[in-house]
A and B are shown apart, each in its own frame.
Chain A
Amino acid sequence: MANAAFEEIVEDFEYLDDWEDRYRMVIELGKAMDPLPEALKVPATKVEGCASQVWLHPQIEDGVIQFEGESDAMIVNGLIAVLRKLYNGLPPTEVASIDARAELGRLGLNDHLSAQRSNGLRAMIERLQGFAKVSAS
């Protein structure tokens, strides 16, 4: 079960009929997110396999996952914001059980992501799930 913040945007997205508005919303979510501190944009946080530059910085705080991230591409940056709503605040054991692509499908986004972008999305999800797995063990 995804968390409440994510359910909230699923509801918001239900009102959006066309892809332009969905993209607009994703881009806005990205713009509203705090940028990742420059000091955290290092090779260790960089996610390979994305068409654009992506950095993810996950941590465990009080037993739940909290991650920040940033991309130099606005759509990808928006996707990071969406993933934060999906994962942040969950214990690492729950992260692995979430079918991220299916959840994003509920936003009507999956179909609209180009292959390279989807691959980037997959790389981001794998990075977060890998972190959760290590943290849970």
Chain B
Amino acid sequence: MYDVNEIRGDFPILSREVNGKPLVYLDNGASAQKPKVVIDAISRAYGEEYANVHRGLHYLSNLATEKYEGTRGIIAKFLGVKDEDEIVMNTGTTMGINTVAYGWAMPRMQAGDEIILSVMEHHANIVPWHFLRERQGVVIKWVDVDSTGYLDPQAVIDAITPNTKLIAITHLSNVLGTVVDVKTIVDAAHDKGVAVLVDGSQAAVHMPVNVDALGCDFYAITGHKLYGPSASGAIFMKKERMAEMEPFIGGGDMIREVHKDEITWNDPPMKFEAGTPGIVQQIGLGVALEYMMSLGMENIAAHEKKLRDYARTRLDGLNWLQVQGTTPDKAAIFSFTLDGAGHAHDISTILDKKGVAVRAGHHCAGPLMDHLGVTATCRASFGLYNTEEEVDVLVDALELAHDLFA
């Protein structure tokens, strides 16, 4: 039984007020709030269990290492990955994709080689590829979504040419809520010898993900969206791909031996984890993922589906509001603009006065904004602790905004 009110009790911040109104937190797409178990784990890690990891042989270092490394196994389980050595821990999807761009793509791609992206990618899955375009003449090929925000997997597959080296694609759009049929794309791409990187920043938060079943080469996640600490995260990298990779960031922990004229690398995944990592952040992420798994990803997805359907019905009732992204199986992420009047920042200012937190802006998705022909939208993105009552508060606040700006 999924008792959302009980679950809300696990998140201390949800009981606070904002501008004299109960907080209605609908900016989960940007970052999610943290359950008390995560906050406590962070406090305990610093208060009782802290030392550097992988270094000392003293008691606390061993304890911290055990806790930190424990998260690697939890992430593997959470993502349906059998071999935890395929999990590289990092600060999140941006770091993960840059690791692939610098460590895998850069050394093996020549001028004229192609990377396929969808038009709805987040900047984290665009900008690293622009580096390759600018610096070594790699060609970025864009695949459009249709007017509902649907991405036809066949359109991605059709974009593959003999020069294609990589498809880098989101599993779930942070703006439109569109869920992408990654499996179909991976199967076809692999038939043609093309690797696939999946940006799982949003998908892993809202639905069960089984990376081994998807078969993709890289799958990146972001801890702070997964109810974990900021600057926590991981990327799954297939063993075969890891073997092809150069290290990206150099420093401690990622080396075996360093001499004046010679250096050897540590084995993966350590090879890709330079310097003292976010020890406490990763410990907190492990606890956050355990928390999500204890609720059950299927249950979380079912709860959010109900919220999505309710929000869709309520928002559809506002004939002066345009929702971008209307695929039937979308996630509970609603980007919208108001007819005629009201900049996204105007709307979010009024919503904020009513205690409703939404994102206003380009959502780090410039090409998609161009495609939609807007400069900015508001986005209400729901999470595992949101309620139908909060949808009602959102709608009331939107009606006030419409009244003010019309």
Asked whether, in the complex, the Cβ of A19 is within 8 Å of the Cβ of B353, the reply is yes
Q: Chain B nearest CB: distance from A63 CB in Å?
A: 36
> Does B352 sit within 8 A of A, measured CB to CB?
yes
Determine whether the beta carbon of B343 is less than 8 Å from that of A20. Answer: no
Q: Are A114 and B352 in contact (CB under 8 A)?
A: yes
- Are B343's CB and A27's CB within 8 A? no
Interface residue SS majority, chain A: helix
Known: A20-B400, A23-B404, A27-B405. A73 touches B353 (CB 8 A): no
Number of interface residues of A (CB under 8 A): 18
Question: Which residues of chain B come closer than 8 Å to A27, judged between CB atoms?
Answer: 404-405
**Chain B residues with a Cβ under 8 A of chain A:** 341-343, 345-346, 349-350, 352-353, 360-361, 375-376, 400, 404-405
- Give complex CA distance A19, B397 in Å: 14
| Contact of A133 with B by CB under 8 A | no
Sample of 14 further A-B pairs with CB below 8 A, known A52-B376, A53-B375, A112-B353: A23-B353, A27-B404, A51-B360, A51-B361, A72-B343, A72-B375, A73-B345, A74-B343, A74-B346, A74-B405, A75-B346, A76-B343, A116-B345, A117-B345
- Chain A CB within 10 Å — which of B341, B346, B360 has the most? B346
Partner of A52, one of B343, B350, B404: B343
Per the bound structure, the CA–CA distance linking A112 and B353 in Å amounts to 8
Contact with B along A95-122 (1 / 0, CB 8 A): 0000000000000000010101100000
**Are B400 and A75 in touch, CB under 8 angstroms?**
no
Binary per-residue interface labels of chain A (18-55) against chain B in the complex, 1 for a CB within 8 Å, 0 otherwise: 01100110010000000000000000000000011100
Find residues 50-72 in chain A having any chain B CB closer than 8 Å to their own CB: 51-53, 71-72
Q: Are B404 and A73 in contact (CB under 8 A)?
A: no
Please give, as numbers and ranges, the residues of chain A lying within 8 Å of B375 by CB-CB distance: 53, 72
Closest to A113 in B: B349
B-chain residues with CB within 8 Å of residue A114 when the two chains form the complex: 349, 352
Complex Cα spacing A53 to B362, Å:
13
A74 to B342, CA, bound (A): 6
A74 touches B341 (CB 8 A): yes
